[in-house]
């Protein structure tokens, strides 16, 4: 499973880890349509990925909006259940 963990600094300063099992992604557009702040379509293989600003090894931005709820909604709407939210 290829992981794309992300960080979300929500109001309480907690960190939420979001992982995508990209090998199971069917490019349905659900996650990046519901939550474009966290998810995007990879232009090379068309599968979902975490936006660059929220990838762990990059320098994540601090946002005032609560992206954790958005990530959970995207995971719940994924028809092949390849998005996982921890934290």
- pLDDT value of position 10: 44
Domain locations in the chain as residue ranges: 17-86
- Where is pLDDT greater, at 10 or 12? 12
- Tell me whether residue 77 is exposed, middle or buried, using C-beta atoms within 10 angstroms of its C-beta: 0 to 12, 13 to 18, 19 or more: middle
Q: How many whole angstroms from its chain centre is CA 34?
A: 11
Architecture of domain 17-86: 2-Layer Sandwich (3.30)
pTM over 0.85: no
Residue 83: how many CB atoms within 10 A of its CB?
A: 26
Name residue, tokens 């290829």.
Answer: 2
On the question of pLDDT at 23 being above 60, the answer is: yes
Instruction: Express each pLDDT in 24-50 by its tens digit.
Output: 999 999 999 999 989 999 999 999 999
What's the mean pLDDT when you consider all of the chain?
Answer: 80
DSSP E strands, the chain: 17-20, 39-41, 48-50, 83-86
Average pLDDT over residues 48-76: 76
């Amino acid at each position: 499973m290829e992981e794309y963990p992300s960080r979300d600094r929500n109001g309480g300063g907690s960190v939420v880890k979001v992982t995508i099992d990209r090998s199971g992604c069917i490019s349905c557009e659900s996650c990046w349509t519901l939550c474009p702040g966290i998810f995007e379509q990879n232009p090379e293989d068309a599968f979902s990925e975490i936006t660059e600003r929220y990838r762990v090894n990059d320098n994540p931005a601090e946002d005032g909006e609560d992206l954790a709820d958005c990530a959970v909604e995207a995971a719940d709407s994924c028809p092949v259940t390849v998005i996982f939210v921890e934290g």
